[in-house]
Structure 1
């Protein structure tokens, strides 16, 4: 248990700062400079993180099996936030100690060592989860960047997605005529159908939902080591049991921004047609059409993917030559091995790295994930370790 501070804030916010602008106004055919200012926060103080932790270490089967349990709870008070001010103020305020937030989570680790004949086994498994919730971050703040909606609201986690819920694809004009549609949009069969949350017959901002958060949950890892008469095998697997990931741009939206009309990715081929009515994606349209605006032009869960995955991180198989044999050559030991790194990844979306994200380490997001990152490299190699 303890209390920590946070120094990751901007400097000199307790001062009122002034900025000179060279062309802020014009008068009598002349340009005049002017001064803008930001009010300081003279009562600034440290953010405080109250940390509590409890754990237990257990062993069974003559210490062959060990179990480690851990639970933590962190509450952050006096979080520095920039308050919302009326536009008539004419400026902005610096950060003020007005927020609070909590994090809680747990982790379980199992280790097991055993023998079967000449085989020596060692296995380890761990899993953990963390939940984040805003307690007092002021009034709700909603923003949309790159067709991805985010909401900051008390009671919800940071990095929360916000938008419309899809309800499949329109299959006929009769279904369209009997459904709620956005104002100004003329959908066609094959376009996205949205849930009318308030049942007013119109799809608008009042129909938006909290759609989940982009924080990884149920992180797990598994390692296994085997030794048998000079042979050794090691396997490392890790993954995430629950996570959402937003995606934008040409890697996900066919013909995005008109720059990719000649190109379509293989995973985008599952689009609605009269012979493919249970497609994953709506029908193909140009990006200046009413249908494109309906399908991709507003924040919805259409651009939020299931990013859970299992990844085989490493497999290594080795053999250590008998000491009597290598000592005749003047060596202490000789071991040959083959190694595979990232050979397999199991994910609902094979076209993007499930570990990629639009969030930074503070769970701030500047928009959706474009997927424009280097793919996870697979490595296959072999080597020899020689000790003299």
Structure 2
């Protein structure tokens, strides 16, 4: 059994505590060849009272080996608290600045990590090892200043990932369709359509998704026969939401087989009229999809999908040359490896024929996910390598 506590600090970006003069050299040349340089004051208001973030983590775990070490177990519970978060806060441009850096709120992350390994076959020439990993984590934002309703952590102020009091870090906020409220004051799941038969969008943004998965599973199989090793890794991500414009655009413009039906026939969108009666207004197929399911008319909840995905992450075949073959060479070992990554994935809740990969992100390498803006598709990768030791 083990237990641990650790703490560290994050000091944020440089020059957030003092005024900065931006110097632009060779900005342009005038018509007589004079080189123009420029000086400008940063639009970031300095905060001399900015403090570093403080990270604290508690962990408890247990490790065990059973049945002559054929079964391995490693179970960990952890809780990580980050206080005095360093975040950007937008300012009214009339102040002369557009943003400042502040300490605001705390974020708690906690979860479970479980690793299991079992040696199914163990003989002179054969060895088959199965390994599995299960991870689950949850986050919570709290202690935000009372005058701070939300802070953008990715995306835009009217559509992005936000830190909000009492919510997971990075919830998705955007425009969404208006739902019908019955006479008793209870909101239903029925979307309201207008007099033209299109969905009605709310004037304000709201929470439409949580990108944090319910859990993740990884399974690895390693089969060895003498000097040959075959390894395969499968991943399963359950849940988590993604606001994705690629499948929304493809479906909304009728570019995939997901809309392969008789487009001459009128459609009636599921929903109700403003008075609560069922919608019976017929509209064209192009209008139904382009005006409502493309995501470009202020109803991003219609292009927010469950990002559950099954993936063949990696397959590799390795051959290690026998020691007698390389005995007279300077090498200790020599191994040849052929591998492939991202060879297959299946996302059951994404429109089938868009073939969209829900692991795609428009935020680059970051600790948040859940936004996609017509990014390039993921690719399969094949490779070969030679590994040498001396």
* SS of residue paired to 2:302: helix
RMSD, matched Cα: 4.8
Paired residue for 1:227? 224
Structure 1, residues 118-156: CA drift from partner, whole Å, max 9, x if none?
642211000112222211334223888598454431111
In 2, the alpha carbon distance for the partners of 1:38 and 1:228 equals: 62
In 1, the alpha carbon distance for the partners of 2:300 and 2:208 equals: 8
Query: Could you tell me how far 1:108 is from its partner in structure 2?
Result: 0.2
In 2, the alpha carbon distance for the partners of 1:383 and 1:103 equals: 38
In 2, the alpha carbon distance for the partners of 1:34 and 1:227 equals: 64
Query: Could you tell me how far 1:69 is from its partner in structure 2?
Result: 0.8
Structure 1, residues 163-192: CA drift from partner, whole Å, max 9, x if none?
43688xxxxxxxxxx9734xxx5433xx55
* SS of residue paired to 2:286: coil
Paired residue for 2:127? 120
Sort the Cα spacing of 1:229 and 1:292 in 2 relative to 1 into closer, same or farther, 3 A.
closer
Sort the Cα spacing of 1:68 and 1:165 in 2 relative to 1 into closer, same or farther, 3 A.
farther
Structure 1, residues 251-309: CA drift from partner, whole Å, max 9, x if none?
522597xxxx7x82344546987488799xx932399x8x4599741143211112221
Tell me, yes or no, if structure 1 residue 59 matches structure 2 residue 57: no
Runs of at least 5 residues in structure 1 that lack an aligned partner in the other structure: 21-32, 168-177, 195-202
Tell me, yes or no, if structure 1 residue 310 matches structure 2 residue 306: no
Contact 1:18/1:37 (<8 A) preserved: no
Paired residue for 2:342? 342
Tell me, yes or no, if structure 1 residue 265 matches structure 2 residue 267: no
Tell me, yes or no, if structure 1 residue 359 matches structure 2 residue 366: no
Query: Could you tell me how far 1:7 is from its partner in structure 2?
Result: 2.7
Structure 1 segment 6-155 matched on structure 2, within 5 A: 6-9=10-13, 11-17=14-20, 39-83=45-89, 89-91=95-97, 94-115=100-121, 119-138=126-145, 139-141=148-150, 145=156, 148=159, 150-155=161-166
* SS of residue paired to 2:115: strand
Sort the Cα spacing of 1:155 and 1:269 in 2 relative to 1 into closer, same or farther, 3 A.
farther
* SS of residue paired to 1:8: coil
In 1, the alpha carbon distance for the partners of 2:6 and 2:333 equals: 49
Sort the Cα spacing of 1:273 and 1:124 in 2 relative to 1 into closer, same or farther, 3 A.
farther
Structure 1 segment 195-206 matched on structure 2, within 5 A: 204-205=202-203
Query: Could you tell me how far 1:65 is from its partner in structure 2?
Result: 0.5
Runs of at least 5 residues in structure 2 that lack an aligned partner in the other structure: 24-38, 180-189, 271-283
Structure 1 range deviating more: 118-127 or 44-53: 118-127
* SS of residue paired to 1:354: coil
Structure 1 segment 209-248 matched on structure 2, within 5 A: 210-228=207-225, 232-248=229-245
Contact 2:295/2:303 (<8 A) preserved: no
Instruction: Give the TM-score, by structure 2 length.
Output: 0.67
Query: Could you tell me how far 1:321 is from its partner in structure 2?
Result: 8.9
Sort the Cα spacing of 1:283 and 1:7 in 2 relative to 1 into closer, same or farther, 3 A.
farther
Paired residue for 2:273? none
In 2, the alpha carbon distance for the partners of 1:146 and 1:85 equals: 12
Count the aligned residue pairs. Answer: 338
In 2, the alpha carbon distance for the partners of 1:58 and 1:230 equals: 29
Sort the Cα spacing of 1:37 and 1:5 in 2 relative to 1 into closer, same or farther, 3 A.
same
Instruction: Give the TM-score, by structure 1 length.
Output: 0.67
Structure 1, residues 211-236: CA drift from partner, whole Å, max 9, x if none?
33223452322111223466543212
Contact 1:125/1:223 (<8 A) preserved: yes
